[in-house]
Chains A and B, each alone.
Chain A
Amino acid sequence: MPKLLNLLLAVEHGMKKPVWDCTMCGQCVLHSTGMTCPMTCPKTLRNGPCGGVREDGHCEVKPEMRCIWVKAYDRKVSLPLPTVWKEHYNDLRPPVDMQLKGTSSWVNLVTKRDQQTPAGWAKRQEETHSH
């Protein structure tokens, strides 16, 4: 089993690194963010753009780079992505679980490990979604 996990890890990283500059956060949200990785935002913001986006749509921190959330929004609007993915664009994504760093998000997706959130967070999500 560990061998298979390592293989999956290598395959996932091998695919995602060149395309999305994947940092292997282990809790992939690409599908809901216009196929743009929020971990490439210098502030690693997972819930939308900061207030510092420049007038030309470039990043507050790296002026030479387009803000990843501007890119994500453009792609969400223009790419033919599944509607359910687009609907999840404005979801409140939980804080990153640092324990998952370096693990395979594919495995974590299957085992639902990537959906585990701290008890306080989980309770609030339950309450806010039930009404």
Chain B
Amino acid sequence: MATSTRKRPKLAVWKFSSCDGCQLQLLDLEDHLLDIADAVDIAYFLEATRATARGPYDLSLVEGSITNRHDAERIQKVRRQSKVLVSIGACANSGGIQALKNFADHKDFIRAVYARPDYIDTLATSTGIADHVPVDFELRGCPVDRHQLLEVVSAFLAGRKPNIPRTAVCTECKRRGIACVTVASGTPCLGPVTQAGCGALCPGCGRGCYGCFGPKETPNMANLMAEFASLGRSETGIRDGLRLFNANAAPFREESLRHDD
């Protein structure tokens, strides 16, 4: 079936609280961008174009977390207008780095940062999209990997399941032939509890994984953290290591609370 004969599905890209890095990954797909524009009707994508078309949309990519009342209402509208909704990136999937406020009093942050705290209207928490509306697929990463993003769009167009494994970063690490940094150098690495997708970027540079892609399927947080402790990482270090881009993802959040005094 040639592209021209098929009615092009309408794509929308939405932004909530985020840094725009995931949307930039889409724009960074340089070689494929024209193919995407051929295959789908880019109906709403403010990062790329000011022209917008009305819904409903066949595929919505949602970036960013929900941190204020206005956005909590807006995501309901987005969901109602979207046949398929894919949350992209750590913010949309678990609340992002801004979810650090979930572990403290958000008013303290506001007072510390803003000259006129009374101008700021915000929720006490930053939460992922799935905490507000049903999500059809979570594309992980901080930012997402552009090849995975392309895979999700291609799979959607073909009506098939995307090839996005939920296994550990270790699987990519071993496929790349990297010697495990934990075993060979005693470096704590979140790879065994983190979902693959980055291509084992950090272990490839001799660093431990920071968990950008969030928890993998069946993560054994407790025993990996016991291993971190035996490698010499302090309780605070363990807690803070889990409180990064996916701080509010349930397994990371619960484990970090166990190391909080």
A and B, one complex? no
A: which residues have CB within 8 A of B? none
